[in-house]
Amino acid sequence: MRRAPENFLTADDIRLVDKGRRDLLRASFLAAVAAGSAAALAGRAATAAAPADAAGDPNILNPTPWGSSLGQPVAANPYGQPSKHERGLVRRQSPGLTQVAAASVSFAPLQGLFGIVTPSGLHFERHHQGWQDIDPTRHRLMVNGARPDFVKTPKVYTMDDIMRLPPVSRMHFIECGANTGMEWGNVAVPTVQYTHGMLSCSEFTGVPLRTLLEDCGADLKAAKFILAEGGDGSSMTRTIPIELVLSGEVMVAYGQNGEMLRPENGYPLRLVVPGVQGVSWVKWLRRIEVGDRPYATKDEAVHYIDLMPDGQHRQYTSIQECKSVITSPSGGQTLLDKGYFTISGLAWSGRGAVKRVDVSTDGGINWTQATLQTPVLSKCLTRFTLPWNWDGRPALLQSRAVDETGFVQPAYGQLRAVRGTRSIYHNNAIQTWQVAESGDVNNVQIL
């Protein structure tokens, strides 16, 4: 399978394909398979220059430069980097989506990732006013009450204060409420990076917010909501129901995948609100206020609201409902030959664990239960796979997830019947990838 242009082809390769050299690539790939080339077996595209040598593959027969020379010393890269051969696998902006790059989004390259963890450097980004690399010695978190009796001892914490407290580490997905938002009306973007890439999953480490509220003597009976405020210039503020905090799940996090948060993701402190849309995961967290009513701030009254078919706005749809997507094969990739493929994708639910995922190769007429890779965790990405023999005829690939509450991911027709087509947020419809006879995979919608 040739990977989608976003994550693999070099500029020269893309020029080749643009010039109509696709068949040439396929032919040389098949020749490489016949020769048992390791590159082909690893699923890498053979380039037009790859030899079709009946005498055998020189890549296995001949001595290699890397096997006959001295390698680089330790710590040549004090902070390790991916292989230069993987440099196409990067976060990308959708050209023209926003007017300024500081108030924009970069999408995670889901088509090239394995398992469930998003490498920190590929975690999607969504900033309302650019990102900052804050000096942790000067960063503070204040906890106060909307009324004096809500918090007995308001406090200002340093990073040191927070990092001395007993930590918890948990794996969770974060999905922007606007993920798949461009697809509400019809097909808009070609690849899974752009349809679903406002989604990432990490192990977060921090302190339960409940611990800090208790430390400040918050009245957890009178409290009904908290307000979280970011330290960047966007005045990002979000209301969070106290039940989520009392459950112990909401975390004031400083760690991500074993190291400190990346600046783009809120260094040195962010809120982690498992299952809830990304906007509530306030980055560069500077203040928590305990209150007894929703705050209806600008980011909850004008943005991150659902435009319903009757023209009314629905506020506070915060939970990310059950959803899934096939990441391979997916839009922009090409199946180079019929035969065996592994269909692989991601499923998640803001209400708990994924219970099952069904996959269809005929546009939803027949479904087969996929295998869920372990671990299967609550409010975390789950990887699913299904073996598939492509017979070379057109196919329509879909995945449909069910979570532990029994919620079944809807088809576009079902979702639009309730939500209309003019919304931006919370599109969890079933995604369809159409495999053409040529092997090209395209984004289509089936109602």
Residues 70-129 that bind ligand MTE (CB under 6 A): 123-128
Does 21 engage in binding with ligand MTE (CB under 6 A)? no
At residue 364, φ and ψ (nearest 5 deg) are 95, 10
Q: How far is the CB of 250 from ligand MTE (least distance, A)?
A: 14
Least distance (Å) from ligand MTE to the CB of residue 337?
Answer: 37
Nearest-approach distance from CB 106 to ligand MTE, in angstroms:
8
**Least separation in angstroms between CB 263 and ligand MTE:** 10
Nearest CB to ligand MTE, comparing residues 106 and 432: 106
Task: Match 């068949």 to its residue by tokens.
Answer: 23
Give CA–CA dist 423/350, Å, rounded.
20
Contacts of 237 (CB under 8 A, 6+ apart): 227, 228, 229, 230, 282, 295, 297, 298, 299
| Cβ(89)–Cβ(44) below 8 Å | no
Strand (E) or helix (H) holding 157: strand 155-158
CB of 321 to ligand MTE, least distance (A): 16
> What's the maximum distance between 2 C-alpha atoms anywhere in the chain?
84
* Minimum CB–partner distance for residue 216 and ligand MTE (Å): 21
- C-alpha dist (Å) from residue 114 to 31, 68, 119, 214, 250: 27, 31, 10, 39, 27
Task: Using alpha carbons, select from 252, 18, 55, 240 the residue that is nearest to residue 139.
Answer: 252
Q: Which string of x and - marks every residue 282-301 that binds ligand MTE (by CB under 6 A)?
A: xxx-----------------
Looking at beta carbons, which residue is closest to ligand MTE? 230
The residue whose two tokens read 């398992």 is: 115
230 contacts ligand MTE (rule: CB under 6 A): yes
User: Residue 232, interface with ligand MTE (CB under 6 A)?
Assistant: yes
Name the segment binding ligand MTE (CB under 6 A); options: 42-50, 52-60, 277-285, 350-358.
277-285
Among 278, 291, 350, 439, binds ligand MTE (CB under 6 A): 278
- How many angstroms separate the CA atoms of 323 and 173, rounded? 12
**What are the structure tokens assigned to 249, written together?**
């799940």
**Of 37 and 280, which has the nearer Cβ to ligand MTE?**
280
**Shortest gap between Cβ of 281 and ligand MTE (angstroms)?**
5
Of 116 and 176, which CB lies nearer to ligand MTE in the complex structure?
A: 176
How many C-beta atoms lie closer than 10 Å to residue 67's C-beta? 7
- Start-end of H helices in 369-447: 412-419
- Of 234, 371, 414, 434, the residue at the interface with ligand MTE (CB under 6 A) is 234
- Least Å distance, CB 82 to ligand MTE, is 19
Should residue 252 be labelled a site residue for ligand MTE when binding is judged by CB under 6 A?
A: no
Interface with ligand MTE, residue 279, by CB under 6 A = yes
Selected from 35, 116, 176, 272, the binder of ligand MTE by CB under 6 A is 176
DSSP E strand boundaries for 212-361: 225-230, 237-241, 251-256, 259-260, 270-272, 285-291, 306-307, 313-314, 323-328, 339-348, 354-360
210: contact with ligand MTE by CB under 6 A: no
Give me the residues that bind ligand MTE (CB under 6 A), please: 123-128, 174, 176, 230, 232, 234, 236, 264-266, 278-279, 281-284
